[in-house]
Amino acid sequence: MTPDSSTVLQILHNRGPLTPDEIYLLLDSSGPWLYSNISYLRRNGWIVAELPKEIENSNGVFPDTKISITEKGKEALYDHLNREKIERKISIRYWITTGISLVALAVAIISIVLQFQ
């Protein structure tokens, strides 16, 4: 899942059914990336578009189409957010380990320099 698609899922989860135009307003951005993300999310079954009966089988999403998140989408969002938390904790742990090793290296260099003076 891309960061943009997870942002769209978070908005739909927090706000309920919205149209693409309303999502644009909430994101305060513009561009074709939203429709490609909506198509990606629909293909995976993470969102559902409320389309009229005559175009129900269409893959298109129109500016006035209400979009809502599915249970599968909520699970994917929770999994993605949990993975981000775990990755953040792991990277913090790596940075702390790197800092400790650099301090140990500096102490070793200082002690060697002081031995020869």
Q: Give the model's pLDDT for residue 20.
A: 84
Q: Pick from 14, 34, 16, 36: which is nearest to 25 by CA?
A: 34
pLDDT computed for residue 57 by the predictor = 56
Amino acid at 33: W
Q: Which portions of the chain are predicted below pLDDT 50?
A: none
How confident is the model at residue 40, as a pLDDT?
86
Residue 24's pLDDT is what?
Answer: 83
Q: Give me the pLDDT at residue 58, please.
A: 58
Distance, in Å, from the CA atom of 61 to the CA atom of 67, rounded to the nearest integer, reads 9
Element (H, E) at 60: none
Does the pTM exceed 0.85? no
pLDDT of 75 reads: 93
Closest CA to 9 of 75, 101, 86: 75
